[in-house]
Amino acid sequence: MKKMILMALSAALVLGISACANKTAESAVQMDEQELNSKNAPIVTEEELGLRRENLYTEQTTAPVRAEYTSAAPGSAKRFERSYENAPPLIPHSVDGLLPIKKGNNACLGCHMPDVAKSVGATPIPKTHFMDFRTQKMLDHLAEQRFNCSQCHVPQANVPTLVKNTFEPDFRRADEKSKSNLIDVLNEGVK
């Protein structure tokens, strides 16, 4: 009997503490709202959140940014410089007919495999794509984790920036603007 009374009192105590905590939280929210209103703080609407400035509850009128992708044939387009050291390079040619990449069909490999790339003027797939990062061992074939090229590489496009950007890349060497040295610096700073 004593145990049941103690359990009932414990439960009542826990419920009472919870109720007090909820009341305190509610009054804190009300106080914050009153404080904001009294200071004439600007109110941000849901449509002003994010970059798209769209209604967050529907996608009916939402359209993607109009992009003008390069339509040049492989080997004929001007290549954009990398965005930063070891950034995945942008695809400087049309990808019509090359995507989607599937297990049995990766058209990128026909020109970008290291043994072919130089003869056709393509950027060779870097050594990091032939490395198993889990074991830190080099492979004699393309690592499965890097088979889907379009996961990291995207076509070059002329699009307006959504947010002002003052970032300036700082390449340690001039050739890093067009070439990866990631295999050499992969574990840089790791002890």
Least confident of 9-13, 62-66, 112-116, 157-161: 9-13
Query: Is residue 34 very low, low, confident or very high in pLDDT (cuts 50, 70, 90)?
Result: low
Residue 156 counted as domain residue = yes
Residue 110 counted as domain residue = yes
Higher pLDDT, 162 or 31: 162
Number of domains in the chain: 2
**97 and 145 both lie in a single domain:** yes
Domain interval for residue 9: 2-43
**Mean pLDDT along residues 75-83:** 85
Residue 54 counted as domain residue = no
pLDDT at 104 (0 to 100): 87
Residue 28 counted as domain residue = yes
**17 and 104 both lie in a single domain:** no
Percent with pLDDT over 90 in the chain: 30
**104 and 190 both lie in a single domain:** yes
**20 and 110 both lie in a single domain:** no
**84 and 150 both lie in a single domain:** yes
CA distance 183 to 133: 11
**38 and 89 both lie in a single domain:** no
Higher pLDDT, 39 or 131: 131
Residue at token pair 């050594």: 127
Residue at token pair 């209604």: 55
Query: Is residue 140 very low, low, confident or very high in pLDDT (cuts 50, 70, 90)?
Result: very high
Residue 120's domain is classified under what CATH number?
1.10.1130.10
Tens of pLDDT, residue by residue over 91-111, are: 998 888 898 999 889 999 999
Pair 120, 75: CB distance under 8 Å: yes
